Amino acid sequence: MKQKLVVIGNGMTPGRALERIFDADPDAYDVTIFNAEPRVNYDRIMLSPLLSGEKTYEEIIIHGDGWYIDRGIMLYKGFKVDRIDRRARIVYSGDDESAKYDKLLIATGSNPIVIPVPGHDKQGVVTYRDYDDVEAMLWATQRGQSAVVIGGGLLGLEAAAGLAMQGMKVTVVHLMPTLMERQLDPAAGHLLQKAVEDRGITVLTEANTKEILGGPSVEGVLLDDGTELAADLVVMAVGIRPSVNVAQEAGLEINRGVVVDNRMRTSDPNILAVGECAEFENDVYGLVAPLYQMANVAAETLLGDRTGKPFEKQVLATQLKVTGIDLYSAGDFEGGDDREEIVLRDARRSIYRRLVIAENKLIGTVLYGDTANNSWYLQLIRSGDDISDFRDTMMFGPGYADGQSADVAVASLPDEVEICGCNGVCKGTIVSAINEHDLSTVDEVRTYTKASSSCGTCTGLVEQLLTLTLGDDYKPKAAGAVCACTDLGHDDVRRLIEVQRLQSIPDVMQSLHWKSSEGCAKCRPALNYYLLSTWPGIYKDDQQSRFINERVHANIQKDGTYSVVPRMWGGVTSADELRAIADVVDKFEIPTVKLTGGQRIDMLGVRKEDLPAVWADLGDAGLVSGHAYGKALRTVKTCVGTEWCRFGTQDSTGLGVRIEKFMWSCWTPAKVKMAVSGCPRNCAEATCKDVGVVCVESGYEVHIGGGSGLTVRQTELLSKVASEDEVMEIVAAVVQLYRLQGHYLERMYKWLVRVGIESIKEAVVDDSKRRKELYDGFVHSQSFSQRNPWSERVNGVDAHEFQPLAELDLVEVV
Amino acid sequence: MGASEWRLIGNLADIPRSGARRVRIGEVEVGVFRTANDQLFALEDVCPHLGGPLSEGIVHGNSVTCPLHNLVIDLESGQSVDPEPKCVRSCMIRLEGDQIYLSDADLRELATKQLS
């Protein structure tokens, strides 16, 4: 019978241990996981990019639900274990859930430290530890303006940078005279402080928090010196401590963490511990590389495999994850009488390097501004090699150690140097994977070796290895470029199309030095849109540069059939329309009819060759294309408003129909969904749409930039106006501005975050001349664009698209 | 060129530049691709990833990108570009004047393999 393994905690470390166990022997254990967080295993290193908006939650999931299902793992989400009965070998979560174990793996992680100042339990005081904290912070960015971050260490600065990128006014309160004083000497601390302040963040040093002010919710922070700071959000980022309660109550040996031996066993041989809660030889680890090492050792122990290396004390390295600020430290970088230091400081270039040496060995380093040589230094610290021979050039990197030039730095690294600390991948492994599998991109290296797939800070080194191995064949993708065909970003391409008056795709590719002769499936649709929106009436739409859905005006489904959605203006329909739809469904044997979220009807499973006939029949009843397939205006959802509703303040249905009839069939960077609600009860859910109008007694609120897909985001108020005509003008103007500024496939809310609501207000609210220009531009574009593509197709435009070129008789062949 | 070795499927003008059309033979569909510089290729119209109709994809250079999940297939070799190459079966194609022919033997093989 299979042994039972119970895991408490579902972070990255137990996740890696389980991966190893299932890779080696899928039948070794029946696994049950209790996770106090109500979710799957995600990449905690990526919380800062999540907070800043550079990543989404989906992008940082390591194991999706399917991973657990495929392995038969029982995952309790949101269940905290509160008792371990070691004699009966059962863990309990509350009164209702329990699980029996043969082996138990404790991975409870750590808890953030909350300073017990008065007011620390007010609403709006959060720590920075898990996804819930990030959600709380993001929620706060929606409603408040200012945030105070207590703690100017690694986590505090990452939180501050993320909140600033979300548009908050952020103050960092730090107890010591300079930031990150453990890693940086005062001069370097000032370099860092300046870089942080350049991001619009205020830094207060030597500042001690006395009290957190406010009612039930936080309103401010009072410092020892009497300073009061306004705050809608307070983030405490002052440190963490191992979470050991449940292990302690079970009577396991505890020091700071749960004490483990070099095979990750606790004082009970049936119980192992890994991760931030585990203590090995008086050290507790908090970084992913040593924790993954623990995971590997624990997996081997659980599999009864004693061939692997036991766990050893690790040299630690850490990196600040704030985009644009590079800070790296490794090993023991504290000063001391027995230590020598070599320091390079270049304030103008914002570069700082410190090497700490003891007994002719490198024991620690701090690098700021330029961290390119970090893996070489880490390797020297780990190996403990005598550095006397190259001590005088060591500061400049490995290239100089043998009298070579700097650009061969990576070349001179030995094969066993670890490039990716997170996943333990050495240079040799990467180089041989590049050669054996003909890899040519960083993504491919990630697929094959896992290098650079966790925190990504070694991406530069992986790129250097690609350059080194492939020579000129390796073409790195420039940051923010439209695609691999060009180094230019979306904004540059848009601008150059306009100023150089480029009016066709070949023109753009020629003038802007495209690297591929005909582009690719990424840039061609983007260019087609940019040309279409910049030159309405002049540019001829290139059908071959559109995705199939837009080419055939229907949505391709996974089996190659299509779905058809006719427009229902404002979600209003009639008996005639419904009858026509019913007839079409019968006539063409359409298998599924479904109501969509946008108040209309979807017919799914239509054969491609039937599409023109389906459209013809729908067209006879007056139904036109709903553009459910396009980067275009989708729906305008409405509630019934004053016509029927006792709460209605305006004719929301009528206004929705008017907007949709005015704006349908315009192309946009990404899909645009709208809604009109008849009162602030908001039954049409207007405040999570790209454009939402909320009617009130005195007029109309126009909101923009909501979303309820991958990202759920509330709209921001653009303006309040008194009449329907003003609504029409402002909505058309803001959509036109988005049409001209948006990057292809960039939803309206992402555009809003990128350019800022203020710049949008300036153009379409404050400046009536500019608003009129935008409105007129939209109307001009609609004069070419507003037509029913279905009827054109019914009338024979590109009819070939729907029929096979030839049907050959099988009998002749066989 | 004997009539039995090659089968006429249509004219060059029937396929848009940087586009594709399908040819149906029994249960099997073959995608016929025309590149921007008028090279022709014929591949089984089934993406090796999850079976998407390749002929509906965007044609760029000598490649096509599958419309379902963006796998890029090299039209010349029938191989996907990355990360682990998978192969689509192809069919010999030739242009005589402006008439397009497919290899009867290849079509036969595609059709029978599909049946078995």
Helix A748-755 with A724-741: angle, nearest 10 deg: 80
Average pLDDT over residues A653-663: 96
What does the pLDDT read at residue A407? 45
Residue A516 near chain B (CB below 8 Å): yes
Determine the pLDDT at residue A628. Answer: 93
Closest CA to A690 of A647, A654, A739, A655: A739
Q: How confident is the model at residue A476 (pLDDT cuts 50, 70, 90)?
A: low
**Chain B nearest C-alpha distance from A667 (Å):** 19
What pLDDT shows up at residue A401? 58
Chain-centroid distance, C-alpha A289 = 22
Query: Average pLDDT, stretch A509-531?
Result: 89
Query: Tokens for A302?
Result: 């659980």
Tally of residues, chain A = 814
Tens of pLDDT, residues A659-706: 999 999 999 999 999 999 999 999 999 999 999 999 999 999 999 999
Q: What is the ipTM of this complex?
A: 0.84
| Percent residues over pLDDT 70 in chain A | 96
Partners of residue A519 in chain B, C-beta under 8 Å: 60
Reported as a pLDDT band with limits 50, 70 and 90, residue A4 is very high
More confident residue, A457 or A742: A742
Q: Is the pLDDT of residue B83 over 80?
A: no
Q: What is the pTM of this model?
A: 0.52
B13 at A interface, C-beta within 8 A: no
Does position A538 have pLDDT exceeding 60, yes or no? yes
Q: How far is A526 from chain B (nearest CA, A)?
A: 13
CA distance A467 to A440: 9
Asked whether the predicted pLDDT for residue A813 surpasses 50, the reply is no
Instruction: Collect all residues of chain A within an 8 Å Cβ-Cβ radius of residue B19.
Output: 543-544
Instruction: Closest CB to A805: pick one of B10, B70, B108.
Output: B10
User: How many beta-carbon contacts under 8 Å exist across A and B?
Assistant: 102
**A86-110 average pLDDT score:** 93
Q: Does B69 touch chain A (CB under 8 A)?
A: no
Which pLDDT does position B60 carry in this prediction?
Answer: 93
> Minimal Cα distance from B70: which residue of A?
A521
Give the pLDDT mean for A421-440.
Answer: 84
Q: Which of A109-113, A176-180, A412-416, A530-534 has the lowest mean pLDDT?
A: A412-416
Residue owning tokens 């049936």: A270
Angle between helices A611-620 and A575-587 (to 10 degrees): 160
* CB contact (8 A) between residue A807 and residue B52: no
Element (H, E) at A548: helix A548-552
Beta strand pairing call for A233-236 and A146-150: parallel
Q: Which two tokens stand for residue A47?
A: 């919380």
- Which whole number is the average pLDDT over A161-177? 90
Query: Which chain A residue has its CA at the smallest distance from B61's CA?
Result: A518
- 8 A C-beta contact, residue B31 and residue B46: no
H helix intervals, A366-440: 374-383, 398-401, 427-437
A399 band by pLDDT with thresholds 50, 70 and 90: low
Residue B45, pLDDT > 90, answer yes
**What pLDDT does A596 receive?**
94
- Select the more confidently predicted residue: A204 or A471: A204
| pLDDT value for A287 | 82
pLDDT top residue among B70 and B41: B41
pLDDT at A421 over 80: no
User: And the tokens for A347?
Assistant: 């304030």
Is the per-residue pLDDT at A246 higher than 80? yes
Q: What's the rounded mean pLDDT across residues A419-441?
A: 84
CA–CA distance, A515 with A763 (Å, rounded to integer): 36
Instruction: With a cut of 70, say whether residue B20 has pLDDT above it.
Output: yes
Distance of CA A642 to the CA centre of its chain: 42
**Confidence class of residue B116 from pLDDT cuts 50, 70 and 90?**
very low
Which among A518, A525, A813 is the nearest to B107, CB-wise? A813
Q: Looking at the partner chain, which of A518, A805, A810 has a beta carbon nearest the beta carbon of B60?
A: A518
| Euclidean distance between CA atoms B55 and A758, whole angstroms | 45
pLDDT at A400 over 70: no
Indicate the SS3 state at residue A234. strand
A601 confidence band (pLDDT: 50, 70, 90)? very high
- C-alpha A742/C-alpha A736 separation (Å) is 10
Q: Distance (Å, rounded) from C-alpha A798 to C-alpha A552?
A: 10
Which tens digit of pLDDT belongs to each residue from A302-324?
998 878 889 988 877 777 777 66
Place of tokens 């979470």: A243
Residues of chain A contacting residue B58, judged by C-beta atoms under 8 Å apart = 521, 524-525, 544-547
Tell if the CB–CB gap between A560 and B53 is shorter than 8 Å.
yes
Q: What is the mean pLDDT of residues B38-45?
A: 93
B3 touches chain A (CB under 8 A): no
pLDDT 10s digits, B84-115 = 678 899 999 999 989 999 998 888 888 776 54
CA-to-CA separations, A349 to A183, A346, A369, A392, A396, in angstroms, rounded: 20, 6, 8, 22, 15
Do B14 and A800 count as a contact with CB atoms less than 8 A apart?
A: yes
pLDDT beyond 90 at A229: yes
Mean residue pLDDT across chain A: 88
Contact partners, residue A699, CB within 8 Å, separation at least 6: A650, A720, A721, A722, A723
What pLDDT score was predicted for residue A99? 94
Of A524, A548, A804, the CB nearest to B56: A548
Asked if residue A105 has pLDDT above 50, the reply is yes
Tell me the percentage of chain A whose pLDDT exceeds 90.
52
CA angle A433, A437, A442 (to 5 degrees): 65
Minimum CA–CA partner of B113 in chain A:
A814
Residue A235 has pLDDT above 90, yes or no: yes
Query: Inter-chain contact B36–A518, Cβ cutoff 8 Å?
Result: yes
Average pLDDT across chain B, whole number: 86
Give me the residue label for tokens 């006395």: A210
CB A601 within 8 A of CB A637: no
